[in-house]
Amino acid sequence: MLVAAAVCPCPPLLVPAVAAGAAPELADARTACSDALAVLAASRPDRLVVVGPAGVDGRGVHPAGSAGSFAGFGVDLTVRLGSGPGGERPLPASLAVAAWLLEQTGWADAPVEGLGVGEELESARCAAAGREIAAAADRVALLVMGDGSACRTLKAPGYLDERAEGFDAAAARALGTADTAALLALDAELAQALQAAGRAPWQVLAGAAEGAGLEGRLLHEGAPYGVGYFVAAWS
Domains of the chain: 2-234 (3.40.830.10)
Q: Would the pTM count as exceeding 0.95?
A: yes
Residues listed for the chain: 235
Bridge partners (DSSP) of residue 121 are none
Q: What integer is the mean pLDDT of 133-160?
A: 96
User: Rounded to an integer, what is the distance from CA 62 to the centroid of its chain?
Assistant: 15
| For residues 212-222, average pLDDT | 97
pLDDT given at position 131: 98
Model confidence at 126, pLDDT cuts 50, 70, 90, reads very high
The two beta strands, 67-69 and 216-222, are: unpaired
4-38: string of b/e by CB count within 10 Å (b at 16+)? Answer: bbbbbbbbbbbbbebbeeeeeebeebbebbbbbbe
Residues forming a β-bridge with 5: 142, 234
Query: What value does the mean pLDDT of the chain take?
Result: 95
